[in-house]
Each structure stands twice: as structure tokens, then as C-alpha cells.
Amino acid sequence: MDRRRTLIALPGLVLASAAAPSALAFKLDGMLGAAKDAAKAATLTDQDVQAYAAQMAQHADAEARVAPAGDKYAKRLVSLTEGLGEEKGLTLNFKVYLTEEINAFAMADGSIRLYSGLMEAMTDDEVRYVIGHEIGHVKKGHSRKRMQTALATSATQQAAASSGGTVGALAESELGDLMAKVVRAQHSQGNEKEADDYAFDFMKRRKYDRMAAVTALEKLDQMFGGGQKTDWLSTHPAPKERAERMRAKLG
């Protein structure tokens, strides 16, 4: 595996969504679609956000090479996530995308997607740290905020109202733009710290090796740090300082 491959969020999926229709028809009912304006987007309920996220995850899965049940990565993920059906009220579902890229992401509905390249590069508990970190972005409201911001600033929002008048119909052509804004935008340093802290607590509660939070970030620093200008660094703050902070939390 080329260890210089960058940790970028769904570049191929975003481009494919924008350029060609999905193999899976991306149909939204009356309660799904872009908010009519910024004010409406700001008032999206948790149920609205989760419904958008579920549809986006479904579309992403249709565009990706998902590891089948008998695949070694799928089997490993089942083992790693045993007992992780939910996290503090959030129902979780997991899949592996077969690609050498080192990546992972979570949607607000609890969809967690790992890339096989990341699983190759990391130990079991390092993968669990990544899972905890991604869940942290959801539980701390970062994913919800991204969705609201993306919908509020979409250049092609539709004005058709839903049955409740809160959400309008999202054109299929908007999906690529929405995925880019929700998944690819860089998290702030504050958000990353919150997600790291959540992952640290997640691992403590579930009795995983918390040192894996440090070693996972150190591996990312070795691959993408050192001042390299990479797509990974354009979407994630430098991991070296985060690794040092996690080490300090170990006491």
C-alpha cells in the first residue's frame, strides 16, 4: 500500500455523484430535501438531519465498493464492533469501503464507514479510536451543524415545501455539492479536540487500550505530517499536537 495516500473524504464518491446518476435511485420523500432558506435550515430537527444523513449514506454505499460479508475486512470489522450496536442512544451501523485510501467518516444517523486502507494501517484498538472519534463528531453536534450549514448555503436549493413546510425537495443534482460540504469541510481545532476527548472516554468506558489514540495519531503524523501539503491536512488539523495531547491525558 502507498502509505502516502491521503486521508480525504469521499473524493471519488463526490465526483461520481455529481457526474453520473447513481445505480441506486436517490429518491427523497416529502420530509427530505434541502431547506428552503438559511432560517429553515437552522431549525432542522434531529430527525430531519438523521433522515438526510441516512439517505446520503445509502447513496454513498451504492457508489462505493462495499466489502461483502465474507470479506476479510468485513469479518474484522464485525469482530471489532461487537457490542457496538449503539452509543449513548445513537444507533450505529458499520461498513467497509474497499480502497487503499486511509479514511473513515460518520454520518449523523450513526452510519460509520471505514476504508480498508485505514484498517490495513492500524491495529484493532487504533481502529476503535477512529470509530470513537467519528462518533464524537456526531454526538457533539458537529455533523448536525455541517448539515445545517450545507443546506443553508446550497447554491441550488429547491423551494418546494414538504408536508410540514420545513423542508423542501432536494434535487438529485445537489447531492454531490451536499456531500462535499458535509463530509469534506475541515473540522475546527476545537471540534477535533472534542471528538478526541469523546474517543478517549469512549475507549475508557469500553475498556479498550487508550494508548491506541496516541499511536493512531502518531501514525497519521508519520504518513501526512512533517509539513507536507496534502489533501489530508486540508481537511484535518495536524495530528502531532493531538497525539501529544492524548498522551498527556494518559497521565
112 CB neighbour count, 10 Å cutoff: 22
**Residue at 235 is within a domain:** no
9-18, 78-87, 122-131, 154-163: the lowest-pLDDT one: 9-18
pLDDT at 87: 95
For residue 83, tell me if it sits in a domain. yes
Listed residue (57, 44, 50) closest to 17, CA to CA: 57
Amino acid, res. 38: A
Of residues 244, 193, 249, 199, the one with CA closest to residue 221: 244
DSSP state of 170: P
| Each residue's pLDDT tens digit, 94-107 | 999 999 999 899 98
Q: Is residue 150 part of a domain?
A: yes
Cell 455523484 found at? 17
Rounded mean pLDDT, 225-233: 51
Asked, for residue 241, whether it belongs to a domain, the answer is no
Q: Distance between CA 109 and CA 92 in Å, rounded?
A: 8
Domain membership of residue 89 as a residue range: 11-184
Catalytic annotation present for 194 = no
Instruction: Please tell me which residue in 134, 192, 194, 218 is annotated as part of the active site.
Output: 134
223 within some domain: no
Domain for residue 80, yes or no?
A: yes
* CATH label of the domain that carries residue 15: 3.30.2010.10
In a domain, 173, yes or no: yes
Number of domains in the chain: 1
pLDDT in tens, 32-72: 444 445 556 666 788 888 888 888 888 889 889 999 999 99
* Percentage above 90 pLDDT, the chain: 43
Task: Provide the whole-model pTM.
Answer: 0.76
In a domain, 131, yes or no: yes
Instruction: Give per-residue pLDDT as tens, 135-149.
Output: 999 999 888 888 777
Q: Which three cell numbers stand for residue 155?
A: 447554491
Supply the DSSP symbol for 97. E
